[in-house]
Structure 1
Amino acid sequence: MTSTNKAAKTAARKPPAGALKAYVASLTGTSLEYYDFAIYSVASALVFPKIFFPSDDEFVGLLLSFSAFAVGYLARPIGGVVFGRLGDKVGRKYVLVFTLVLIGAATVLIGALPDYSAIGVAAPIILVLLRLAQGIGVGGEWGGAVLLSSEFGDPNKRGFWSSAAQIGPPAGNLMANGVLAVLAASLSNEAFLSWGWRVAFLASALLVAFGLLIRLKLEETPVFKAIQAHGDRPKAPIKEVFTKEPKALVSAALSRLCPDVLYALFTVFVAVYATKELGMTTGNVLAAILIGSAFQLFLIPAAGALTDRFNRRWVYGIAAAATAVYIPLFFLMIQGKSVLMLTIGVVIGLALHAFMYGPQAAFITEQFPARLRYAGSSLAYTLAGVIGGAVAPLIFTALYGAASGGWHLIAGYLALTAVITIVGMRLGRDPQPEEDVRLLNNSAKESHA
């Protein structure tokens, strides 16, 4: 063992002060923001086709609604570029405060937006613009939230510490689907479509206020402070990522594809397939997603921690390969129209997602040097989202229509994304925790000199 690695192990025995607080702040903030994003996802499948995109052809209305859904993903690279650059130049903390406000404001305004019957074509136009703002905010949020927890935590346990931000989507999804499920169960279909769905959007104002209270009390991360003390902040981080770290960018982006598409299948498109093809109720589908998301709350950090003990790329790649095998089995499981089998199927699908998504934050961030982490991670995350989660519901819907309700083309699509993600794993590098330890140790020596 080298002296550098010995120093890394010694320094890593005890997490730096503030690590747990940063973990909670990262988890809480992303949970609140993904609550906002998740209620839009569910509403895009169940509500918006009817009130913002009315059409004589229900299929066309669904495609238009999913197109607006995709705008949020297409806007993410804008947030990745703008906030990624700022995150490496001015720090993590205040960028994260701004992204929280941006997403929260957009969500509340969606909840107050008059529908098509009230203001005509202006309604879907404004909806798309607000969705754009949501996407920009999320594009800048993820990279900073990951760094917030990982740069306070033990660099030898980056899989676990980075997983804080990864718990946000299922936690937010759990809250969103829970609120929508309660509203759908307690209101008539007419009342839910008229005003009930708006309650979930407007309620985010309280959640965002709580998130702001936590984030404003945080300090900047020790790693960024060390970079700042060394005068090593990049002048043009976006340019440097493209010119100096192209392999890292490609590897990190490809790693996103399979989990992104898999998540879209089990949290968005499954609602369409189960209700239209199998005749199940909206409540049945929402309950299945709720249960699957609840399991993810524990599986995601567990998966991240697992990859701190075993090779991260191998664990991630095996989960991707298992996804390709499982999707045909899932569709065969639910053909009997059993609510129990649907629930079990969704739980297993989201568990496979957890074993990729849990270690994903660590894998992506460790592809880049510390001084370029915010920009590199944000670019990889958001660019991959454009070809992954953004178009996945549209592709699912198109394949579903082309196959006249069949699922084989959808299974083939998932298998292709699994292969691409495995290629990303092959291109990537293994963790290098000594980089952070060396940076922090040098900063400590200089401060005591």
Structure 2
Amino acid sequence: MSNSPPADGTGTGRTAAGRTAVATLAGTTLEWYDFFLYGTAAALIFDKQFFPSLSPGAGTLAAFSTFAVGFVARPLGGLVFGHFGDRIGRKATLVVSLLLMGVGSTLIGAVPNYDAIGFWAPVLLVLLRVVQGIGLGGEGAGATLMSMEHAPAGKRNLYAGFPQMGTPAGLVLANVVFLTTNSVAGDATFTSWAWRIPFLLSFVLVAVGLLVRLRVTESPSFNRAVEQDEVVRFPLAEALRVGYRRLGLTLLAVVANSAVAYVFLVFTLSYGTKELDYKKKFLILGVTAASVIWFATIPFWTKVADRYGRRTMFVGGSVAILAWCVAFFPLLNTNRSLLALLALVGMGVIIPVTHCVQGAIIADTFPIHVRYSGSSLILQLGAILGGGLAPLISTALLDASGSSTGVTWYLVGVCALSLAGAVALFRLVPEKGPEPAAEPPAQAVART
């Protein structure tokens, strides 16, 4: 018996639900393309372009610091877009978030480097990274809600998983464009100026995404909240009434997935090329292959969650991530390509087990009329505490010790805390009966 809340009861047709799912997948793919493109460039290019006077280690730290800035900005975007998403609707805010992300990424491709304008080059880079962060801060929770709130009965986890697929899809797209541009231009030309091409392509990709996103209808759940006069003036304040204990445990439960994912996706590129002498192309292809597996397995795991319940699956996935973090760097450190590929692909197999349902778990913490604000707060705080700081902390630990052992213990510690948080959260919230975020049944809607 699934522990998912009852279906929305909105009467939305499967065609509209499917169109919305595809639109949210397309939008999140494009936004994550922009975000991961920056992460890859930060690991491999930006230290030379924007911090050339620093040592290699300090330059990498500086580049990862600008990467972290985007995460610092994400809660601001989450708060702003969450507020208006609960007051004026999901669709309009998601259109604006996509535009912000596209404009920020396109302009990054046009920023002069340090040799051209000195100090102002990293300043402009940071400002545009803030724009990226604000845009993505409004995307994650809103896209999950938009798809989940259109879902047919019994398929809430499946539909909430479509926007989650945008994370690995965006990474695959970013890496394919990055590698293709590098191969065509050559290493020297790519490092000099051709790295800008993938960022400039964001303008075209976002235009396509907007055409898809503008065709979807507003969330039936939000429309019903408007009809029943449930829209509140300060939705975030209302969302906090869920209680700080539950909010804290939900936040703790999702931190590990973000931390592990960003060490795997971003820090590994820098560590593998500079410390282990792996070829850049090999590592990017390995991460890309793992991301394809990540993408392809999300529908399977979300169907499992809809059929059997997501709690046991989430806890089991949390244990698996912890165990693989113990093995990940030792496998990389063998300097054997086959074992390194196993380490990377293993992450692609394990990460989606918890990633695919965490958006739905967060959403079901809050009532419908304040769900965007509450979900954005938890999602973005989890992202900054987990993913935003992970490459920076990992680089600092590596510089301090000269070994990846500290990074391994850091990841194991974060995973253990998240596992404890998930177990405590699921004990706190009864498995049977409606969750606080569950929509009223269709019969009740008809009588109001």
1:391-410 to 2 correspondence within 5 Å?
391-404=389-402, 406-410=403-407
Return the letter of the residue paired with 1:339: S
Partner SS for 1:153: coil
Cα drift, residue 17 of structure 1: 4.9
Match for residue 364 of structure 1?
362
Match in the other structure for 1:266? 264
Q: Say which of 394, 407, 412 aligns to 1:415.
A: 412
State the AA in 2 paired with 1:103: M
Give, in whole Å, the separation in 2 of the partners of 1:367 and 1:424. Answer: 14
Mapped to 1, the partners of 2:300 and 2:417 lie a distance apart of: 25
Q: Give the drift of 1:9.
A: 7.6
CA distance in 2, matches of 1:422, 1:311: 17
After TM superposition, the score normalised by the length of structure 1 is 0.93
Moved more, 153-162 or 384-393: 153-162
**Greater displacement, 198-207 / 332-341:** 332-341
Unaligned runs of 5+ in 2: none
Deviations 1:136-176 (A, max 9, x none): 11111111100110000035322111001101110000000
| SS of the residue 2:388 aligns to | coil
TM-score, normalised to structure 2, is 0.93
Aligned to 2:100: 102
Shift of 1:424: 2.7
* Aligned partners of 2:34 and 2:174 also within 8 Å: yes
Once the two structures are superposed, the pairs formed by residues 147-186 of structure 1 within 5 Å of their partners are 147-154=145-152, 156-186=154-184
Q: Is the 8 A contact 2:26 2:166 kept in 1?
A: yes
3-state SS of the aligned residue for 1:156? coil
Name the CA shift for 1:440/1:424 in 2 (closer, same or farther; >3 Å): farther
Residue 374 of structure 2 corresponds to 376
After TM superposition, the structure 1 stretch with the greater mean CA deviation from structure 2, 206-215 or 178-187, is: 178-187
Instruction: Encode CA deviations 1:385-418: one digit per residue, 9 max, x unaligned.
Output: 22111110011101111221x2221111111111
Return the letter of the residue paired with 1:416. G
Instruction: Look up the SS of the partner of 2:254 in the other structure.
Output: helix
Contact 1:72 1:134 in 2 (8 A): yes
Cα deviation, residue 350, structure 1: 2.3
Residue 130 of structure 1 aligns with an amino acid whose one-letter code is L
What are the residue-to-residue correspondences of 1:78-227 with 2, within 5 Å? 78-154=76-152, 156-227=154-225
- Where does the alignment leave 5 or more consecutive residues of structure 1 unmatched? none
Q: Which piece of structure 1 moves more, 85-94 or 424-433?
A: 424-433
Length, aligned pairs only = 441
- 1:225-240 → structure 2 map (5 Å cutoff): 225-240=223-238
Letter paired with 1:35 = Y
Change (3 A) 1:239 1:8: closer
For 2:236 and 2:222, how far apart are their aligned partners in 1? 17
SS at match of 1:108: helix
- Equivalent residues in 2 for 1:335-350 (5 A)? 335-350=333-348
Which residue of structure 2 aligns with residue 45 of structure 1?
43
Equivalent-residue separation in structure 2 for 1:313 and 1:435 (angstroms): 16
Give CA-to-partner distance per residue, 1:416-448, whole Å, 9 cap, x none.
1112212332224348379645254433344xx
Q: Which residue of 1 aligns with 2:320?
A: 322
Percent identity among equivalent residues? 36
Q: Is the 8 A contact 1:226 1:439 kept in 2?
A: no
Deviation at 1:292, TM superposition (A): 0.6
Aligned to 2:421: 424
Question: Partner of 2:320: helix, strand, or coil?
Answer: helix
- With over 3 angstroms needed to count, the CA separation of the structure-2 counterparts of 1:245 and 1:439, relative to structure 1, is farther
Equivalent AA in structure 2 for residue 442 of structure 1: A
Q: Give the alignment's Cα RMSD to 1 decimal.
A: 2.2
SS at match of 2:328: helix
Q: Per the alignment, do residues 298 and 216 of structure 1 end up closer, same or farther by CA in structure 2, a change over 3 Å counting?
A: same
In 2: Cα distance, 1:11 partner to 1:235 partner: 26
Deviations 1:234-276 (A, max 9, x none): 2211111224442332232112211101111111011112112
